Structure 1
Amino acid sequence: MERVTAIDSYVSELDRRLHGPRRRKADMIVEVRDGLHDAAEAVRADSPEVDPAEAERRAVAEFGPLRAVAPEFQAELAVAQAWRTAWVFAVALPLVMTLSTLLWRSTSTGVAPTPGYHELAHANDLFLVAASVGFAVALLLMHVLARRAASPVALVRVVGVGAVVTVLAMMGAGIVLAMGAPGRGTSLWGALLGGLPTLPGYGLLLYLGVRCLRLTRPRGPGAGRPSRRPAPVPSA
């Protein structure tokens, strides 16, 4: 049976405590493992009399306790998730508005909408534009905060809340507009059934927002709260 080393134990526990984008987390764990092995080799090079097990223990001790290290890495994963979420919303919302307009024109019955309906549809379009711009601004702010050594963790929560609110507002507006569509309005049940094809897309967007919120919550004993240290922002 293969012996579990101090580095293996440390990295496994760190992996268990961290939650976030899989690829970024996997890269992070590999970087930590490699860094610890390099540190252990440096200890052995400076003190050849030290056995490998002791060198690993010293490397782990120098790296820091998990209760202090894990929140630092968790903050970075939360920012990576927020970046992904804001980018998806900034791109997806204009596409949703464009596709909705094209669909509306292709299925128009020629019946003029009432002033109230027209104002509601216009307000929905303005909301989508404003939300898209807001998420684009969030991307910029994450870069600015990182450069100024400020924590972006609060912004991660803002992105999460904004994403959840945006999805719920889009779903609600879609139902109301479907029910009052000129010449082809339907009941609430009919609007819900008609919206079933869009549920996977809305579900994905909602998941991204909820994920941002979950990643900023403390997890497990000793996990601590997300670090206030600025975390690197992914480029895309």
Structure 2
Amino acid sequence: MTAAPDLVAAHVAELDRALRGPAAAKRSMLTEVRHGLADAVADHRERGLDERRAAAAAVHDFGPVHAVAPLMQEELTARQGRRTALLLAVVFPAELLAWDVLWWTGHGWSQPPTTQVMALARAVDALSVLVAATALVLLLATFRRAPLPGRVTGATGLLAVLGVAGCGGLSVVMNLLSSHPAGPAGPVPPAVGVVGAATLVVVVLVTRSAVRALRSARAARGSDQGAHPKVG
């Protein structure tokens, strides 16, 4: 007597493959769907249908994946954009503050910085503030019922990529300009090592979140096109 569970499980598995988004949110949605289908099967069984017909009726009532997935993907996409935007709004100001504290306390520079290095440092600060401010705007936008949430999430993912590339690139150039190959390299202060390690972790987290946001946005666009095919 495995026909009903197999039919329901196959439908949930197909829905699982069609969705992209935060793992926990997606898992919660699929669990709710699975429980709802199980309850529907039980209701049809009480009305006199055999197990296989009850399962088929429950799946039919739930709807085909191509019709249901776009609605669920919309919510998952909004949640992924929200997570990425919140991450950007928190970590960029935090990293900016951490590095500025090092400079203010004299731990960041082994010697007085040049004019070019100071200009690049200010550019990194300005870009970090711009990324954080834009992320806040996008974070608020994820709570609105927009017809195409993939655009907001896609913009958030792109913002994350540009933030990492921009701040990272400027920081590399800044450190190259402040280095002196002719002289011996001194030991790295512990505080600089800690903040530097934290920065690498942030880069990994933001990059991973950016990739997930872009994938979720692409899935949302694909679902929307599948739900509303063009006629020509």
Instruction: State the 1:176 CA deviation.
Output: 1.4
Which of 218, 223, 228 matches 1:226?
223
Instruction: State the 1:199 CA deviation.
Output: 3.2
Judged with a 3 Å threshold, the aligned counterparts in structure 2 of structure 1 residues 186 and 34 are, in CA distance, closer, same or farther, namely farther
Instruction: State the 1:127 CA deviation.
Output: 1.2
| Residue in structure 2 matched with residue 88 of structure 1 by the alignment | 87
Judged with a 3 Å threshold, the aligned counterparts in structure 2 of structure 1 residues 115 and 71 are, in CA distance, closer, same or farther, namely same
Judged with a 3 Å threshold, the aligned counterparts in structure 2 of structure 1 residues 54 and 2 are, in CA distance, closer, same or farther, namely closer
Contact 1:131 1:166 in 2 (8 A): yes
| Residue in structure 1 matched with residue 132 of structure 2 by the alignment | 132
**Length-normalised TM-score, structure 2:** 0.80
Per-residue CA deviations over 1:176-206 (Å, capped at 9, x if unaligned) read: 111223xxx246xx9xxx9984433312211
Establish whether residue 157 from structure 1 lines up as the match of residue 154 from structure 2: yes
SS at match of 1:216: helix
Establish whether residue 64 from structure 1 lines up as the match of residue 50 from structure 2: no
Please, what is the CA RMSD of the aligned residues? 2.7
Contact 2:40 2:58 in 1 (8 A): yes
| Residue in structure 1 matched with residue 171 of structure 2 by the alignment | 174
Segments of 5+ residues of structure 2 without an aligned counterpart are 186-192, 226-232
Instruction: State the 1:39 CA deviation.
Output: 2.4
SS at match of 1:50: coil
Higher helix share: 2
Instruction: State the 1:129 CA deviation.
Output: 0.8
Per-residue CA deviations over 1:101-154 (Å, capped at 9, x if unaligned) read: 12223323452x4433323222221111111011011111111x22xx533111
Establish whether residue 120 from structure 1 lines up as the match of residue 125 from structure 2: no
Judged with a 3 Å threshold, the aligned counterparts in structure 2 of structure 1 residues 186 and 11 are, in CA distance, closer, same or farther, namely farther
Post-superposition, which runs of at least 4 consecutive aligned residues in structure 1 deviate over 6 A? none
Instruction: State the 1:26 CA deviation.
Output: 1.0
Establish whether residue 33 from structure 1 lines up as the match of residue 65 from structure 2: no
Q: Which amino acid aligns with 2:72?
A: F
Judged with a 3 Å threshold, the aligned counterparts in structure 2 of structure 1 residues 186 and 22 are, in CA distance, closer, same or farther, namely farther
Instruction: State the 1:38 CA deviation.
Output: 2.2
Contact 1:163 1:206 in 2 (8 A): yes
Segments of 5+ residues of structure 1 without an aligned counterpart are 229-236
**Length-normalised TM-score, structure 1:** 0.78
Percent of residue pairs bearing the same amino acid type: 33
Judged with a 3 Å threshold, the aligned counterparts in structure 2 of structure 1 residues 224 and 138 are, in CA distance, closer, same or farther, namely closer
SS at match of 1:226: helix
For residues 101 and 34 of structure 2, what CA distance do their matches in structure 1 show? 52
For residues 177 and 226 of structure 1, what CA distance do their matches in structure 2 show? 43
Instruction: State the 1:78 CA deviation.
Output: 2.0
For residues 141 and 167 of structure 1, what CA distance do their matches in structure 2 show? 22
Judged with a 3 Å threshold, the aligned counterparts in structure 2 of structure 1 residues 135 and 57 are, in CA distance, closer, same or farther, namely same
Per-residue CA deviations over 1:5-55 (Å, capped at 9, x if unaligned) read: 32122112212332322111111111101111222333344xx23223212
Contact 2:85 2:138 in 1 (8 A): yes
Q: How many residues get paired?
A: 211
Contact 1:5 1:53 in 2 (8 A): no
Contact 2:84 2:209 in 1 (8 A): yes
Contact 1:160 1:213 in 2 (8 A): yes
